[in-house]
Amino acid sequence: DCKNIRIVDFGGSLGSTFRMMQMKLQQSQISFEWIIVEQKKFVELGKEHFQTNTLQFVDSLESLKDEPIHVMILNSVLQYLDDPYGKIEEILSCGPAVILIDRTPVNSKKEDDFSVQQIPKNIYLASYANRNFNEKNLIEPFLLNYILFARYESELQPDPKNTSIGMIFIRKAK
């Protein structure tokens, strides 16, 4: 039903992408439900301060398996996961109709490699391990049941040694 869309924003923090898209979705008069899957502390804060009838917070994909997922968003998240390929398999098992991946670093090497992302001091003091995917390895798990509809370079390019890309996958007809 195109008038009732279920969007899952994996790693969606406290809803920044939701807030960017909310007005457009409301103007389109599409009935939608936006669910953010996040770490437990984010879920607690999200439920306490931001949750509405439209915006919900959960801490696992498992809780979403009973209802269809129309759009799955993975925005700048895969590179920070301990086991991104395992998480991709879990996401694929949910069978979303469309998967949108954005701001994900790829390299031109034969394998994934790692770098350290430094947060600017004027934001806060921190650094994060960052996976830079071999693009073929990243795309391959999707191709059994999905078509790579689009691939693009993301606007934000934080690492000059790698390229941040976005991709849209559409589930193949059965």
Side chain identity, residue 89: E
Between 22-26, 50-54, 108-112, 157-161, the lowest mean confidence (pLDDT) is in 157-161
pLDDT band at residue 1 under the 50/70/90 scheme: very low
Segment 73-83 mean pLDDT:
95
Nearest by Cα to 7 from 33, 39, 31: 33
d(CA 166, CA 77): 12
**Reduced DSSP (H G I as helix, E B as strand, rest coil) percent helix, strand, coil of the chain, to 5:** 25, 35, 35
By DSSP bridging, strand 98-107 and strand 127-134 are: parallel
What are the residues whose beta carbons fall under 8 Å from the beta carbon of 110, sequence distance 6 or more?
134
pLDDT band at 3 (very low <50, low <70, confident <90, very high): low
Q: Span 63-90, mean pLDDT?
A: 95
pLDDT for 119: 80
- The angle at the Cα of 37, spanning 146 to 79, to the nearest 5 degrees, equals 65
- On whether the CB atoms of residues 70 and 6 are closer than 8 A, the answer is yes
Mean pLDDT rounded to a whole number for the chain:
92
pLDDT score at 35: 97
For the segment 13-72, what is each residue's pLDDT rounded down to a tens digit? 999 999 999 888 888 888 899 999 999 999 999 999 999 999 999 999 998 988 999 999
- Per-residue pLDDT reduced to its tens digit, 138-152: 999 999 999 999 999
User: pTM to 2 decimals?
Assistant: 0.92
Higher pLDDT, 155 or 83: 83
Confidence of residue 121 (pLDDT cuts 50, 70, 90): confident
Q: What per-residue confidence (pLDDT) applies to 113?
A: 93
Q: What percent of the chain has pLDDT over 90?
A: 73
- Can you count the helices (H) and strands (E) in the chain? 4, 9
Instruction: State how beta strands 4-10 and 71-75 pair.
Output: parallel
| Nearest CA among 117, 98, 109, 112 for reference residue 157 | 117
pLDDT at 102 (0 to 100)? 95
